[in-house]
Structure 1
């Protein structure tokens, strides 16, 4: 079993109009894990608590086997972080000035690696940060986050503002970063293609609640829509393994969604249910179903 780079146990954060958790989560070393969910689900709050920038009301977080919240300078030196929003307190600095300041905090800062990333991302470090476009600022922040060769990258919407060429460069840079085999990436992303290209594991979070962590390829192979012909009788859809929802699809057809495709298909054969068509669900379709089910759960 892979060692865990992040362990979250019973994490709870309460705000006036929002509650995150309780969250239990394990992020394995050697893999890219993507947190996927709608805006306002608590993804950025979770990152801030991992970095001890915000405090939970209950529970604990361990990074590299050490509890967050103590004397954790050495721990943070092993992390590269790109927040969702660029920090504006240093807007009047030139990029090269900020990099020079940050490098002092990281004994493993690799100047050659930093310069290589700047060249690949085509960043002009002579500009002040507030004169950069959103995309260039994002590329600079990515270069800074990766320049000290961290053991863990925390990326909150890393491709925000990137053009297609820069996006592909970022994907390649993260793939190369993971080549060594003993690093980890935890990213939050709205870009489905980005998640499909990068992630090994996917965590769904909706309205502050983690709905599960899944191996990506297994997840995409197990969620299907089945088009069922009901002309010869009505099946008990809720008895289907992995049943999620059912709706009319014209005439005697019903569209039934399951998260356990192999078992569902076997069940159809055993119960005499006739399948007239099938379609694999994409990641955004799966998320839509989970969001709707969570809304129904909250209402009830």
Structure 2
């Protein structure tokens, strides 16, 4: 990951009841990176830091190769499309078309044909006042708006919030098409497991303001597994030595469920120890997150 769209180096943000970081994170160009974590983990604050909407207390942030806050950084930011999780109520009295007329003046690459195409695709009427739109309609309008200047980088904070299943599928298709040229990047925060699985190339786990790991998606799902072994055959003490062991649970019927984050190594270890794996199960994204959250809580308690 040497060619990065976003780089955060030892970034910290301190607030009276919350600390973000220190964060070291590199978002590679040309890929979709998804940040997942519980509410309050610092995902939205990270987006605002990247866009220079709030200032870090420590650390360095680069956006598309440039340090943010530099003079003329508007040229860099004009290559970015940002979809926040929550929209400002100050726009509510504006017609959507009026907001569009204002926004498009800031982008030399504004594409009115693309804008109209996306409105038709999402079935959005931009003559309606923003405050009169449903949450899903507003989300679709704002997504059309940020895509219409062909940004090099998309920052999407919970992009599917409020969307019905049909609109969600349309959004997924639109984002896949956006990535087709190969030189564009998406950094998104999402709690929708299927959304992450369909879109992401890399997954970042963030808990309590800390990045706990960055994983290539296929490698992640290939590594985190639950192995079921007979408790009569092996002791709990023995399986504690399994490579990557994260948790051991009683599974009923005399079985032990052993969770590992190093499935290939763990399988080889079981063969060496003469342990028969009765059943194996790949963990889902929310299962992995739950384990990481519990580990982080245990770290904080200690």
For this structure pair, what is the TM-score category when the shorter chain's length is used for normalisation?
A: over 0.9
Matched residue SS, 1:269: helix
Question: Kindly tell me: are residues 233 and 73 of structure 1, through their superposed partners in 2, closer, same or farther at Cα, counting changes over 3 Å?
Answer: closer
Q: Any conservation in 2 of the 1:225–1:255 contact (CA below 8 Å)?
A: yes
Alignment-derived partner of residue 262 in structure 1:
264
Distance 2:177 2:114 in 1: 12
Alignment-derived partner of residue 43 in structure 1:
43
Distance 1:19 1:228 in 2: 41
C-alpha RMSD of the superposition:
1.0
Q: Where does structure 2 lack aligned partners over 5 or more consecutive residues?
A: none
Q: 1:24-173 to 2 correspondence within 5 Å?
A: 24-71=24-71, 72-173=73-174
**Residue 293 of structure 1, CA deviation:** 1.0
Matched residue SS, 2:258: strand
**Residue 274 of structure 1, CA deviation:** 2.3
| 1:253 matches 2:251 | no
Alignment-derived partner of residue 10 in structure 2:
10
Q: Any conservation in 2 of the 1:12–1:22 contact (CA below 8 Å)?
A: yes
Matched residue SS, 1:148: coil
Matched residue SS, 2:240: helix
1:115-134 alpha-carbon deviations (Å, 9 max, x no partner): 11111011111100000000
Question: Kindly tell me: are residues 239 and 172 of structure 1, through their superposed partners in 2, closer, same or farther at Cα, counting changes over 3 Å?
Answer: same
Alignment-derived partner of residue 284 in structure 1:
286
**Residue 167 of structure 1, CA deviation:** 0.5
Q: 1:184-263 to 2 correspondence within 5 Å?
A: 184-234=185-235, 235-263=237-265
The 10-residue stretch of structure 1 (13-22 or 236-245) with the greater mean CA deviation from structure 2: 236-245
Distance 1:163 1:246 in 2: 38
**Residue 238 of structure 1, CA deviation:** 2.8
| 1:21 matches 2:18 | no
**Residue 88 of structure 1, CA deviation:** 1.5
Distance 1:249 1:180 in 2: 47
The normalised TM-score by structure 1 is 0.98
Q: Any conservation in 2 of the 1:205–1:211 contact (CA below 8 Å)?
A: yes
Q: Where does structure 1 lack aligned partners over 5 or more consecutive residues?
A: none
Q: Any conservation in 2 of the 1:12–1:57 contact (CA below 8 Å)?
A: yes
The 10-residue stretch of structure 1 (198-207 or 241-250) with the greater mean CA deviation from structure 2: 241-250
Q: Any conservation in 2 of the 1:2–1:29 contact (CA below 8 Å)?
A: no
Runs of 4 or more, structure 1, over 4 Å off, are none
1:8-31 alpha-carbon deviations (Å, 9 max, x no partner): 100001111111110001101110
**Residue 2 of structure 1, CA deviation:** 5.4
Alignment-derived partner of residue 299 in structure 1:
301
The normalised TM-score by structure 2 is 0.97
1:76-98 alpha-carbon deviations (Å, 9 max, x no partner): 10000000101211111100000
